[in-house]
Structures are given as structure tokens and as C-alpha cells.
A = this chain, B = another copy of it.
Amino acid sequence: MAHDARERILGACERAIARAGIRGFRMQDVARDAGVSIGLLAYHFGDRDGLLQAALDHVTEQAADRASRSPNATTAVARLAALLCSEFGDDPEIRAGSTAWNELRALAVFEPAQATAVARSTAAWQARVRELVGEVAREHGRASRAPVNADTGRDVSTEANGDADALNLTALVEGLSGRWLTGQLTSAEAQAAVRSALLRLGY
């Protein structure tokens, strides 16, 4: 399948979930919105679970793609901030992707196939954040500086602390997404909270 057809189908899938929730999700609506036959859709993504899993990965990839185009991301810490902040934005496509992700995570509490897909997609995203956390530590040569946290003597350059920070930051973004999607925070407020957390963690 051509790359643009794949993009069109996954974008349509996210919009369909964002419009009516996972409860109102129909493969036919996705095919119609993407301008492809239901047969082509099924041929390439298999069943509903296959399409939903591809959509999860697509949301994560899209956010990483937006972050990579961020003009100010010239240092590792800027790339880390851009990746985390790219989960929020006023573009309808960003909101549709995040809404779809949120719905699929809610479904995953009840459906093992979705839980596996969510876990895999989350692990891939967290691994990318972990890489950037490691780049920040190397870039700043933190091992040779005073520990970041005056109270705890904690040093972000150790493996265990890098792992803990990657979990902390990605889980924080997921929590902030729920606040944003339910209108409790604007996208700018959610991004400010991410930047504040990064500063507080010593990044």
C-alpha cells in the first residue's frame, strides 16, 4: 500500500474514534472517509484489532515526527522537551490522535488484545524518551558535576535514575493528556507543565 493511502486510512481511523468514541467506531466509516474500499482496508490491516493497533503506533510516530521538525530542538534537552510537548497542540489532527489513544487505553482495561498493543506502543515511546534522557546526561556530562538534587544527592546520569525519569515523564504526559482532553488544561498549560517538570527533574 502506498504510504499516502496508509496515512489517509490511519488519519481517518483516528478521526472516527475522536468523533464518536471507540463505542461508535465502524471500519466502514474509516474506509469511506479515507476513500478506500473496506476490502483494501481489511487486506492491509486485517481486522478491527489490527487497525486499532496500527492507529496506536501511528499516533506515537506522528508525535515523534512533529517533534523532529521542531526548529529549536538543537540540544538533547530541547529534543526531549519537543518530543514530550508534541503530544499536545491545537491542531485538530493532534487532538484526534490523542483522543484515539485515550480511547484505546480505556478499552485496554477490558480487552487483552488492546492492552498488549497499548503496552507495546507505550514501551516504544518510553524507550525513545529514555534514549533522549541518556543523551541529555551525556551532553551535559553530568557525572562530573554536582548531583542534580541537593536533598537526595540523586544523579540523572545513572541507569536506574534515567529509567525512573523516563517512566515519570511519559506517565506525566499521559496524565496531562487526560486533563487536556477533558478541558481542564489548555495545550499550552499542559506543555508548560511538562517544561516545569523537566526543570524540576534537573533537565
Contact = CB atoms under 8 A, between A and B. Distances in A.
Contacts of A164: 193, 196, 200
Interface in A103-130: 103, 105-106, 108-110, 115, 118-119, 122-123
A69 interface: no
Nearest to A196: B164
A183 B113 CA distance: 12
Name the 4 nearest CB pairs between A and B, nearest first: A175-B175, A171-B175, A174-B175, A106-B106
A36 interface: no
Instruction: Categorize the interface residue count of chain A.
Output: 35 or more
Contacts of A110: 20-21
Given A152-B199, A168-B200, 12 more contacts: A23-B23, A105-B182, A108-B182, A109-B182, A122-B179, A123-B184, A151-B202, A165-B200, A168-B172, A171-B172, A171-B193, A172-B172
A175 B152 CA distance: 24
Given A148-B150, A172-B168, A193-B168, A122 B184 contact: yes
Interface of A: 20-21, 23, 99, 102-103, 105-106, 108-110, 115, 118-119, 122-123, 146-152, 154, 164-165, 167-168, 170-179, 181-184, 193, 196-197, 199-202
Contacts of A176: 171, 175
B184 A179 contact: no
Nearest to A146: B150
11 contacts: A103-B109, A115-B182, A122-B179, A146-B150, A148-B149, A152-B202, A154-B199, A167-B193, A168-B197, A171-B179, A175-B178
